[in-house]
Amino acid sequence: MKELLVKTNDAGQRLDRFVGKAVPLLPESLLQKYIRLKRIKLGGKGAKRDTRLKAGDVIQLYINDEFFEKPREENSWLKVGTPRLSIVYEDENLLLLDKKPGVLCHSAGQWDYNTLIAHVQAYLAQKGEWKPKEENSFAPALCNRIDRNTGGIVIAAKNAETLRILNDKIRDREIDKYYLCAVHGRPKPPEGRLENFLFKDAQKNQVYVKDRPEPGAKTAVTEYKLLRSKGPLSLVECRLLTGRTHQIRAQMAHAGWPLLGDGKYGSERFNKNFEEKGQALYSYKLRFDFPTDAGILNYLRGKEFQVEKVDFVEKYFS
């Protein structure tokens, strides 16, 4: 049990809001439940959530110690009362998740519990598949990342062996990633290969396409295939043969087919006509090729998974 003393500056607040600020790791749903169950008391007695506090009030908290830790990315899953995940596939070793545009894979330099990894860890902890108190160092982890404003399949490893194998397979290009994108114009030829060099400006978080090798520029290779066109837009499938920052966005724009909604590499005037604020890009399909041994994941060899629905495809090409 821990106690909180209400001071002058905190007087007048509701009980639930005061406790929510004082114990930021406690999920809102659990906070309200604990007030109802009288595990959160005011002056030793149960109280309603909207009770107004006075200076000198003492609140008793009968809740687990981990909720009183300092918030950080490693424990942000504690704040997640109801995990929100779109699961494409799940087994005892991994999860394939359909990350929606706007969702962060990890916190961006400051504590944020509303990230994909926090929801994954909360989901597995609540299922009893991950027991943090029994682990010395391992925590469920994401094997790949996707930009905040790009959607698509993210792989989460449930155990250390799966994480090790998948990190190796991604590094060795044994997992094929296919993207869908809506672009301005009609690619010609309708099927081909973009191969050039990308130079990254880390300060601006932007890459520049170079047609010839330059110091600091890395080879970037993307295969593309036109699927269909409708009006000024075309739906294109891209397969990454390298994995550079903003590779598809930069290469397609350099080729003359900028992505719809891309504010960094696209056309501001064109995007304004469609009122799109995020790039129309989705990592919609994964294929586990595994030409070499994959240990406990050999059962995935040759299997392919894809998301059921991509919003911009439904909106512009249905």
Question: DSSP string of 165-225?
Answer: HHHHHHHTT-EEEEEEEEEES--SSSEEEEEEEEEEETTTTEEEEESS--TT-EEEEEEEE
| 161-188: pLDDT as tens digits | 999 999 999 999 999 999 999 999 999 9
CATH number assigned to the domain with residue range 175-317, chosen from the 4 options 3.30.70.260, 3.40.190.10, 3.50.30.30, 3.30.2350.10:
3.30.2350.10
Query: Is pLDDT above 90 for 256?
Result: yes
For residue 317, give the amino acid letter: F
CATH number assigned to the domain with residue range 73-171, chosen from the 4 options 1.10.10.10, 3.40.50.300, 3.20.20.120, 3.30.2350.10:
3.30.2350.10
Does a cis peptide bond (omega within 30 degrees of 0) precede residue 291? no
Give pLDDT, residue 217: 94
For residue 22, give the amino acid letter: A
The pLDDT-based confidence of 126 (bands split at 50, 70, 90) is: very high
Query: Is pLDDT above 80 for 109?
Result: no
CATH 2.60.40.1930 given to domain 2-68? no
Mean pLDDT, the chain, as a whole number? 95
pTM of the model: 0.89
Q: How far is CA 147 from CA 49, 119, 153, in A?
A: 39, 17, 11
Please state the domain extents for the chain.
2-68, 73-171, 175-317
Mean local confidence (pLDDT), 86-96: 98
